[in-house]
């Protein structure tokens, strides 16, 4: 299966953990479920970046943290070394093209990551940023689904995971990459890091080991050892962008806000059953009035009407944005599993799909299939400032829907489904994911979560007051001084409330 490789590394010590100097190093952005869950996103497909072969270092080497930087992070990884050329290979035969398995450390400088926009050229391409070794394990002797990866920092175990925890199995990475270019003998594939990656500082010693616990002979790469040192050279801003960090980069580099020494994120807003009950009871007109008293005048979704006027809509916003149709963009974004379908597949219980359609009534923005999907996901409802196809069938689903009316045309006549879970404009008001959306016969109002409890209580209190005023007017009292109440009527009302 494997073949001897002569790449011409000569006596260069940097490549002593490999058969020679690799022609290319390909690294996976995100591949372990534990890491993906830590980051809060699971990719549907693997994505990659290149690292220069000049970044390779042997076991026992040092890695510099450049002057003026703070976020050098380790990432223990399993490295695959290609043994025979692979071009458009099937998944079943992909592992046959792997010659060896060993340990690697994919160091990254988060201070430069924002400027690289995912390419990682500078943030992960520095000299010494890819230690590999120390020993090669014959790929024919191990099961790619049963490898173990462990990383220690100053003797403390920080990462411990196996390839059973991969989102994308190792052979899939080989087969996928071979679709696009030839993997040549000596090329190195860095297969991603599990949870536990964090920041290291000068003086720290990082060790990475890959082994196959279930294989005969306790096969192991040995421990790949790297010591972090402080560099004396920084970066010249006249030549390129300078390092910059913020709390987002600190959190990603350290693995959590707590590990980075930052205050924890505020608890995410949760629509409690108690608050939901208040909002169900409070009329939209009353909520709108209370928001106006607090300086918020542009919170109504204008121009939409309910399919089910008798049904109250209460939920948190899940947003979807359409842009005006352009044929080339619809060809790239409109078909297949587009943003519209992803949004309806992702909507959760108690959420409202809110659609920005720019008030365009000349096509549908959803039909009965998507209404059924939202209903099956226990969504609270749908609000669109565009049209609805299959109007009667959508109405029959029973889920609360607010729209500008019916239209028979398909989505692509006017719209391209563009993105989801972003800030949008619907019916003339801005809607952010997580905003409270409340609808009744009067229309739809959007409530910032931080004000929801206060506004709901005030609206209900105002309802009680208005009901009492209505009783006085019905009893024959004139509205002058009563609506709104003067001091005398206010005293009567307060006395009435005290007796309740």
- Asked if pLDDT for residue 37 goes beyond 90, the answer is no
- Worst-scoring range by mean pLDDT, 37-51, 99-113, 371-385, 400-414? 37-51
Give the DSSP letter string of 275-318: HHHHHHHS-HHHHHHHHHHTT----EETT-EESSTTS-EEEEEE
- CATH code, domain with 358: 3.50.30.40
Q: Whose structure tokens read 């996103």?
A: 41
Kindly indicate the confidence band of residue 218, based on its pLDDT and cuts at 50, 70 and 90: confident
Q: How many domains does the chain have?
A: 2
Same domain, residue pair 357 and 443: yes
Of 402, 431, 447, which closes a domain? 447
Mean pLDDT for the stretch of residues 348-355: 96
Triad 104, 110, 116: Cα angle to 5°? 95
Structural domain containing residue 109: 13-254
Same domain, residue pair 36 and 179: yes
316 or 495: which leads in pLDDT: 316
- Mean pLDDT, the chain, as a whole number? 92
Same domain, residue pair 248 and 327: no
- Asked if pLDDT for residue 464 goes beyond 60, the answer is yes
- Please report whether residue 461 resides in a domain: no
Q: State the pLDDT at residue 234.
A: 87
Same domain, residue pair 64 and 128: yes
The string of pLDDT tens digits covering residues 42-69 is 888 999 999 999 999 999 999 999 999 9
Mean pLDDT for the stretch of residues 408-417: 92
114 or 18: which leads in pLDDT: 18
Same domain, residue pair 90 and 198: yes
Whether residue 91 contacts residue 177, with contact meaning beta carbons closer than 8 Å, is answered with no
Same domain, residue pair 354 and 239: no
- Please report whether residue 458 resides in a domain: no
Percentage of the chain beyond pLDDT 70 is: 98
217 or 194: which leads in pLDDT: 194
Strand partners, 17: none
Same domain, residue pair 189 and 317: no
Alpha carbons 397 and 392: distance in angstroms, whole number: 9
Kindly indicate the confidence band of residue 119, based on its pLDDT and cuts at 50, 70 and 90: confident
Give the DSSP letter string of 31-50: -BHHHHHHHT---SS--EEE
Kind of pairing between the strands at 436-440 and 313-324: antiparallel
Same domain, residue pair 19 and 102: yes
Alpha carbons 352 and 292: distance in angstroms, whole number: 23
- CATH code, domain with 208: 3.90.850.10
- Please report whether residue 470 resides in a domain: no
Token pair for 406? 């019916």
Of 201, 221, 254, which closes a domain? 254
- Please report whether residue 469 resides in a domain: no
The string of pLDDT tens digits covering residues 157-208 is 999 999 999 999 999 999 999 999 999 999 999 999 999 999 999 999 999 9
Q: State the pLDDT at residue 11.
A: 61
Strand partners, 131: 57
- Asked if pLDDT for residue 217 goes beyond 80, the answer is no
Same domain, residue pair 75 and 168: yes
Same domain, residue pair 94 and 233: yes
Kindly indicate the confidence band of residue 367, based on its pLDDT and cuts at 50, 70 and 90: very high
Q: State the pLDDT at residue 9.
A: 43
Same domain, residue pair 84 and 226: yes
- Asked if pLDDT for residue 122 goes beyond 50, the answer is yes
Q: State the pLDDT at residue 114.
A: 78
- Please report whether residue 132 resides in a domain: yes
């Amino acid at each position: 299966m494997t073949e001897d490789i002569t790449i011409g590394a000569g006596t260069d010590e940097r490549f002593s953990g490999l058969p020679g100097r690799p022609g290319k190093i390909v690294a996976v952005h995100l591949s372990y479920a534990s890491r993906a869950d830590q980051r809060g996103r699971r990719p549907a497909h693997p994505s990659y970046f290149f690292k220069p072969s000049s970044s390779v270092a042997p076991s026992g080497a040092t890695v510099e943290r450049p002057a003026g930087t703070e976020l050098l992070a380790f990432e223990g990884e399993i490295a695959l070394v290609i043994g025979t050329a692979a071009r458009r290979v099937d998944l079943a035969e992909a592992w046959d093209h792997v010659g060896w398995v060993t340990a690697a450390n994919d160091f990254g400088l988060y201070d430069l990551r924002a400027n690289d926009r995912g390419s990682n050229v500078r943030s992960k391409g520095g000299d010494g940023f890819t230690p590999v070794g120390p020993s090669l394990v014959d790929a024919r002797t191990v099961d790619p689904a049963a490898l173990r990866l462990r990383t220690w920092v100053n003797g403390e175990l920080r990462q411990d995971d196996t390839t059973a925890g991969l989102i994308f199995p190792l052979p899939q990475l080989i087969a996928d990459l071979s679709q696009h270019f030839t993997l040549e003998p000596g090329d190195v594939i860095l297969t991603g890091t599990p949870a536990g990656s964090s920041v290291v500082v000068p003086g720290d010693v990082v060790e990475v080991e890959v082994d196959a616990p279930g294989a005969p002979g306790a096969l192991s790469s040995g421990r790949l050892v790297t010591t972090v040192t402080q560099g004396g050279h920084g970066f010249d801003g006249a030549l390129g962008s300078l390092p910059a960090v913020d709390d987002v980069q600190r959190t990603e580099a350290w693995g959590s806000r707590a590990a980075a020494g930052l205050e924890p994120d505020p608890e995410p807003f949760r629509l409690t059953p108690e608050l939901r009950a208040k909002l169900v009871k409070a009329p939209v007109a009353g909520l709108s009035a209370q928001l106006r008293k607090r300086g918020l005048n542009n919170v109504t979704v204008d121009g939409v009407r309910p399919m089910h006027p008798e049904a109250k809509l209460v939920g948190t916003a899940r947003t979807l944005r359409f842009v005006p149709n352009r044929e080339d963009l619809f060809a790239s974004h409109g078909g297949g599993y587009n943003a519209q379908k992803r949004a309806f597949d992702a909507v959760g219980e108690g959420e409202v799909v809110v659609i920005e359609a720019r008030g365009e009534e000349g096509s549908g923005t959803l039909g009965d299939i998507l209404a059924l999907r939202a209903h099956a996901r226990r969504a609270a409802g749908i609000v669109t400032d565009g049209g609805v196809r299959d109007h009667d069938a959508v109405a029959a689903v029973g889920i609360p829907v607010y729209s500008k009316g019916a239209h028979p045309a398909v989505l692509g006549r006017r719209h391209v489904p563009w993105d989801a879970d972003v800030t949008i404009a619907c019916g003339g008001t801005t809607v952010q994911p997580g905003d409270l959306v409340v609808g009744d016969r009067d229309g739809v109002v959007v409530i910032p979560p931080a004000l929801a409890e206060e506004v709901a209580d005030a609206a209900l209190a105002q309802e009680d007051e208005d009901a009492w005023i209505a009783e006085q007017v019905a009893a024959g009292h004139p509205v002058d001084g009563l609506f709104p109440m003067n001091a005398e009527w206010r005293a009567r009302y307060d006395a009435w409330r005290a007796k309740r």
